[in-house]
Amino acid sequence: MSAKSPFPLHLPPRLVETAVAAALAEDLGSEGDITTDAIVPAGATGEAAIVARQDGVIAGLDLAEAAFKALDPKISFVRVVQDGGEVASGGTIATVTGKTRALLTAERTALNFLGRLSGIATLTAAYVKAVEGTAARISCTRKTTPGLRAFEKYAVRAGGGVNHRFGLYDAVLVKDNHIAAAGGLAQALERLSARSGHLVKIEVEVDTLDQLKQALGFPIDAVLLDNMDVEMLKHAVKLVAGRVTTEASGGVSLETVREIASSGVDLISVGALTHSPRNLDSSLEWKA
Amino acid sequence: MSAKSPFPLHLPPRLVETAVAAALAEDLGSEGDITTDAIVPAGATGEAAIVARQDGVIAGLDLAEAAFKALDPKISFVRVVQDGGEVASGGTIATVTGKTRALLTAERTALNFLGRLSGIATLTAAYVKAVEGTAARISCTRKTTPGLRAFEKYAVRAGGGVNHRFGLYDAVLVKDNHIAAAGGLAQALERLSARSGHLVKIEVEVDTLDQLKQALGFPIDAVLLDNMDVEMLKHAVKLVAGRVTTEASGGVSLETVREIASSGVDLISVGALTHSPRNLDSSLEWKA
Amino acid sequence: MSAKSPFPLHLPPRLVETAVAAALAEDLGSEGDITTDAIVPAGATGEAAIVARQDGVIAGLDLAEAAFKALDPKISFVRVVQDGGEVASGGTIATVTGKTRALLTAERTALNFLGRLSGIATLTAAYVKAVEGTAARISCTRKTTPGLRAFEKYAVRAGGGVNHRFGLYDAVLVKDNHIAAAGGLAQALERLSARSGHLVKIEVEVDTLDQLKQALGFPIDAVLLDNMDVEMLKHAVKLVAGRVTTEASGGVSLETVREIASSGVDLISVGALTHSPRNLDSSLEWKA
Amino acid sequence: MSAKSPFPLHLPPRLVETAVAAALAEDLGSEGDITTDAIVPAGATGEAAIVARQDGVIAGLDLAEAAFKALDPKISFVRVVQDGGEVASGGTIATVTGKTRALLTAERTALNFLGRLSGIATLTAAYVKAVEGTAARISCTRKTTPGLRAFEKYAVRAGGGVNHRFGLYDAVLVKDNHIAAAGGLAQALERLSARSGHLVKIEVEVDTLDQLKQALGFPIDAVLLDNMDVEMLKHAVKLVAGRVTTEASGGVSLETVREIASSGVDLISVGALTHSPRNLDSSLEWKA
Amino acid sequence: MSAKSPFPLHLPPRLVETAVAAALAEDLGSEGDITTDAIVPAGATGEAAIVARQDGVIAGLDLAEAAFKALDPKISFVRVVQDGGEVASGGTIATVTGKTRALLTAERTALNFLGRLSGIATLTAAYVKAVEGTAARISCTRKTTPGLRAFEKYAVRAGGGVNHRFGLYDAVLVKDNHIAAAGGLAQALERLSARSGHLVKIEVEVDTLDQLKQALGFPIDAVLLDNMDVEMLKHAVKLVAGRVTTEASGGVSLETVREIASSGVDLISVGALTHSPRNLDSSLEWKA
Amino acid sequence: MSAKSPFPLHLPPRLVETAVAAALAEDLGSEGDITTDAIVPAGATGEAAIVARQDGVIAGLDLAEAAFKALDPKISFVRVVQDGGEVASGGTIATVTGKTRALLTAERTALNFLGRLSGIATLTAAYVKAVEGTAARISCTRKTTPGLRAFEKYAVRAGGGVNHRFGLYDAVLVKDNHIAAAGGLAQALERLSARSGHLVKIEVEVDTLDQLKQALGFPIDAVLLDNMDVEMLKHAVKLVAGRVTTEASGGVSLETVREIASSGVDLISVGALTHSPRNLDSSLEWKA
């Protein structure tokens, strides 16, 4: 159920530092942690564990660690689980040792990142497990939390999923409205070829088999088979015959995903992975 | 079920503009919307409606509007529902008229904001409705999405809830670990009084009635009754006797919240409002 | 006369680094220190002392240290006095040893911060001393230098004063104009209660005893007794009878503050602490 | 007593907007003006006057206007006095008409800027008046408030003074420590000439007439005569004989400045103009 | 020779505004244009023309216009040529009418952008013309000026060229060092397929025909034929037989490009387009 | 031919870090280096050399080093040549040892900076060599790449040239249009003297000897002799007679510069140094 990447997963430090600094600033304002600063001596040190309160797949440890280190660079953050690894309810995810002030002040920021990303990884892993044995891979969409897309896409990978395009800039996805505005699929794709670089892939959304046939007449890389039932998906896969990547979307849930996968599509994209995961519940428990 | 504020709800423009600019930058990168720019003529105009695909309470229209206006300052954005208002599945939330390119390019950013904030407002409203007729108000926590706290707190208000402190900076909340680090509640509260300004409120978390009695011996403003069952909550409310605000937390769900409210507490805080709402499903439907 | 905080005073590193970087950028532009860079070899090292040229209370050493360290991370900055401590004219505040270029280039930035904050601490300490033995504490206002509020509020604490609210966001202060715009005190306070979180304190400004009586009929936390003479203040304190915090403002000077304090008010707020302190004069004297 | 510039004084809009946005953010945090937003209806409008509470010279109206306009772009801000102009106690500086919320929320930010800059302009004008009829001009130094240098230098001009260099980057000022580090004045100035552009001026600080004679043997543009008494200043001016600009500094006060000017120096620089002005007292008075 | 895009070329306003603001800040510092502000009355207006001093293809008019408008929002900027259009030496590119101060102060910033981008467009157009009639398109590389990549890629399109990938993030390009570090081409491409999204294209650099054959055994989208002579290129094109895109690079100049194109490659990439163009010479000529 | 500065040349770390972070962000986007991250193990290390592919003078090593260190703080970057030093084609400029991922990912950013700045230094050195033995120094202009001015001015110094003003803010340069707008040279210079600080130099552009004579009647520091032929330049130098700095501009090329220098002018300014240098070609060659 865990991720298949050949290397341990890590987030780019520059993205992590920027996001953590912004999150801490949001929580600390100009005054800082007025409870902790008034009550806890600057020199006091302590040890705590981040403990899972439910089963799941972990993602976001780099962000959690950075939150503590931003307040005490000498903190020791020891990972018991790695990003992409599973944890059982009650299990320790990581231990943190250092200045008590830093532990108390960064706690919520660290857990807010970890909880959301692990929630996404856990939900992704459930979908991946549901299609095990089929050819289908599970993909995210652009329905991500504003400001967190790179992290949420990473959490999908940690859960064993694959990433769709990152934004409007790195691949072409032609939808009905584009075709209508261009006056037809042919015109749309001609305009694209006049402008796109040779390293940009082109995917076209189709709702019917007729549209699919038309689209396959053009040099495209993938088709998005939107809101088709399984029978139609199977027809579509047969029609495509391996010439381009096939992606199914619409009406996907943990209950329906395996049947959709049985159609033979290459990819099933699930918006809920990033727009409606449940946070993975965890807490910071003090040891000393 | 809707919000009780005497005035229409609006987000501060400066926060909206900054967040929308960052979200658009995340989606557009350096290249921009390479599909739309290649296919749709710059001068083309269109009209579309944001339509709800489920019942709910709306929040975040300022952000949605700003996303479209950032790309076409002359766009017309007409609200059918206001923030804090209810919408039924299939109902129109707002209509947008202007440059087709702006409509297509800003669509996902606008819906990502609107979906998340409306999801929070809808979930909050469900909790508020569940305790209708009791004295309890529904409150959020600091378990918010990093970078979006001000917006998510606003969505809670739109759903009829009230806000807890915004961060570590604007109120004191003394927890067990603080008390332990200070060597006792008395010392913790003495240190606080030596430093806190006269306009800062102090809340103390207690797990038992003995702790509660001890806390009430100090000049505090509120108590957080953590993980108590309803019987203990009733005892606690009786003990407090209106001297300070009482807040219940822990084990709160839509199933349990009414019983918790029946204890007579002033406030019930629910982390899930902001950390695990389901996005409100909506889509941009083209009219012309 | 010095500050009463149980712990040594320190500014949050992230605020210090940002402010120092901006101040150095302002002084260095794109060209840098064209005098020092042309004249002093990169490898030269030196030692200097920051020496007070007048008696006072020190605040801002974190900023001074950060200014030097921004240009030479290995600089040694040894504090002879701590923030909140007193220095006599001619006394050494701190010594600095490291790259000569860094010492010369950062000198003015370090002293500009230290002089302003120590000026505020010194003035605050004079007010605090003037009311010694009374129940009154000395408080700042929002009349601070744009961009430096967190530092100036800190300097007030270093001088033994307490902080009023940090901004318009962390507490409610209802003034005449608010009441007029709402159509009366009752309406104003009702609107507030519909929206304010349970951890937000409410203070109301009153100019007369009648207004005071009316205000006390509402659930408020503090009253601002504006521009009252000492007799009226005494009446007001008697009327309040300890139910809410009493704050006097208007017409406060080092000559009048003790008499105002004798009225029994809890707090005297002084705008001049932050809007019109005299810089504490100091200089960087070379030793080698 | 007012400024001599042939054109009305204005600050660069881009600097004004950035500084005002930062100052408002500091005052509003994430929550905004929780008093005004809860009490005053969004649609309410009002009119107010900025009234001086003491005599003085005005500076900073662009900043005050921008603070109001940032919150209500349609506000009408009418200047009765211009920057560099005089106002008498009780006189109106400007009137502001627009959204009541914007007026109340921006009030403190507007007055904080206006008070500080007008305080500088007023103090500068007092020095300028004190030396009227002599050849000496009054100049500021780099002893400015971190973050506000461009504005404070502007306020000095509004008061009739002239600006010294803006930072370490736009002119060379060789001090004792530079000469010591270089191993002598000759070496210092040779190193400079190897690197300085042809549009960079060079000033040398001297403490004695011997140093002055030595300095005049090099191609320099100005001498800073530091801490010399009036007799020595006269000798120095005679020695220089118009070849370079002469600047006196040290021990300058409103009591001593005219005598110093009588020495015939071209320039007298006064650190206190920007490091220790008293705010010009003003208030926002409501008309309707 | 001009660009083939079906729509007029425009740069995204948000990128233009940010870049122009930074460029103006670099030129204006804290003091602003001290020459113009002192000499030219604020109200004076004028008219000027941007005139080409050599033949070329224009790019960057949005940036030039934005530079003037940043200083005078009401300026009239009338384009005689559009981006991608040709101009002859002595021809007018655009006229500008508005505040004299804005014209004089923004002149250099406007021309710096316009000169560089038009230089790139002109050089690109020369390469495009040189291969006219062949199947080869001219492409840029990542050898761009730090900070200006999006603009320089745009200028290449304005000159009739196409864009290679925008950065390391939007397409895969496997070079020798990657293959060596992975322990062989097979391993490198397996690792890629485990991680890449379905909308990411993969190009592999090859130096020999043997490498080419090996690469073609994997599911790739393009091959970069590096530093091959024309004979080898022809062999390579024949080997590829239209299965993937062929790109030639290395040793490309205006003298050699047509011969390279004759090999039948799809694409010729030229680093010099963006790293070593000559600025297109132009000047701002005053009319009134 | 190399630079004459008495000290090794270094760029201010704060400018370097900011520019390098921006350049890396431009190249990495949100996804990072998707080729290297997928193929190269995180722990792999390697060694490479930056090798020149043509003769030239080096500038920008601080930027190149910072690019690698931003991705691997422990990288070892050993300089074989220093900024301002010469390298021959095939010679090693520096060696880099550390994480393979950091080497591959930062390569292009490092070389883009190094190539451009070394190109400027090399071109400057060629002009400096061409006027060797004359009194003329070679100067840059404000025709720099937006965003890179401080670095490009530094590269000119590395090539043995001197810097003109850095922006519109640090010196006055009066051109024809200024004089026209002011209604004559006298008025322009009077207005300047009313406003300029005593450390600001004034240069006046003249096209004829009559203009030159008129300008010399005012207290100015330099004259810009624009587009004069050598005979006229000689007359101008004689007329000036050492009273102010003389600068020639217009029609300067490597072919003409020596003859222009023979006129006796102090300075020859060359826009092409920064607007149209050819990148110095170099590459990162792997050793292990």
Work out the average pLDDT over A48-74: 97
Q: For C242-269, how does the pLDDT look when each residue is reduced to its tens digit (9 = 90+)?
A: 999 999 999 999 999 999 999 999 999 9
Q: For residue range F30-73, list pLDDT tens digits in order.
A: 999 999 999 999 999 999 999 999 999 999 999 999 999 999 99
Which ipTM did the prediction report? 0.95
Percent of chain F with pLDDT over 70: 98
Read off the pLDDT band of D3 (50, 70, 90). Answer: very low
Active site residue F205: yes
A174 neighbourhood in chain B, CB within 8 Å = 35, 39
Please name the chains neighbouring C, where neighbouring means 3+ C-beta pairs under 8 angstroms. A, B, D, E, F
Distance from CA of B55 to the nearest CA of E (A): 35
F82: pLDDT strictly greater than 80: yes
Give the Cα-Cα-Cα angle B65, B71, B77 (nearest 5 degrees).
30
Q: Rounded CA gap, E99 and B281, in Å?
A: 51
Find where tokens 């889509």 sit. Answer: B283
Q: Using one digit for the tens of pLDDT, what is the confidence trace for C178-202?
A: 998 888 998 999 888 777 789 999 9
Angstrom distances, CA of residue E224 to CA of C257, E212, E215, F37, F270: 81, 9, 11, 20, 39
Closest E-chain CA to B41: E7
**pLDDT for E287:** 86
**CA–CA gap between residue F277 and residue F279 (Å, rounded):** 6
pLDDT of residue F2: 35
Checking if the pLDDT of D2 tops 50, the result is no
Task: For residue A226, indicate whether it is catalytic.
Answer: yes
B31 Cβ under 8 Å from any chain A Cβ: yes
Asked if F44 and F99 count as a contact pair (C-beta separation under 8 A), the reply is: yes
d(CA A79, CA A184): 54
Chain A residues whose CB is inside 8 A of the D26 CB are 30
**Whole-model pTM?**
0.95
Q: Does C73 touch chain A (CB under 8 A)?
A: no
Percentages (nearest 5) of helix, strand, coil residues in chain E: 40, 20, 40
CB–CB contact F5 D195 (8 Å): yes
pLDDT(D1) > 90: no
F14 lies within 8 A of chain D by CB: no
pLDDT at position E196 is 76
Taking CA–CA distances from C16, the nearest residue in chain A reads A30
Could C38 and D196 be called an inter-chain contact, meaning their C-beta atoms sit closer than 8 Å? yes
Q: What is the residue-averaged pLDDT of chain C?
A: 94
CB distance B30–F26 less than 8 Å?
yes
The answer to whether the beta carbons of residues F27 and E167 sit under 8 Å apart is yes
Q: Is the CB of F14 less than 8 angstroms away from the CB of C21?
A: yes
* Nearest Cβ partner for A10 among F25, F29, F42: F42
Contacts of E5 in chain A (CB under 8 A): 194-195
Which of D20, D26, D31 is the best residue to mutate to test the B interface, defined by the most B CB atoms within 10 Å of its own CB? D31
**D253 Cα to chain E: minimum distance (Å):** 28
Q: Give pLDDT, residue B5.
A: 55
| Inter-chain CB proximity E166 and B29 less than 8 Å | yes
Q: Are A37 and A101 in contact (CB under 8 A)?
A: yes
Mean residue pLDDT of chain A comes to 94
Among A150, A169, A200, whose Cβ lies nearest the Cβ of B32? A169
Backbone dihedral region for residue B103 (phi beyond 0: left; psi -120 to 50: alpha; all else: beta): alpha
Q: Using an 8 Å CB-CB cutoff, list chain B residues near E12.
A: 28, 32
- Pair D171, D149: CB distance under 8 Å: no
- Which residues in chain B land under pLDDT 70? 1-6
pLDDT at A105 over 80: yes
B74 has catalytic annotation? no
Q: Does E147 touch chain B (CB under 8 A)?
A: no
Residues of F in contact with C18 (CB under 8 A): none
Chains that touch A (3 or more CB pairs under 8 A): B, C, D, E, F
Q: Give the residue on F whose Cα is nearest the Cα of B26.
A: F30
**Nearest Cα residue in chain E from A164:** E197
If chain E, 288 residues long, is cut into consecutive pieces of 10 residues, what is the mean pLDDT of each piece? 60 94 96 94 94 98 98 97 97 98 97 98 98 97 97 97 95 93 89 83 96 94 97 98 97 97 98 97 90
Q: Give me the pLDDT at residue A46, please.
A: 95
The one-letter code for the residue type at F70 is: A
pLDDT at B6: 61
- H or E stretch covering E234: helix E230-240
Nearest chain B Cα distance for residue A7, angstroms: 26
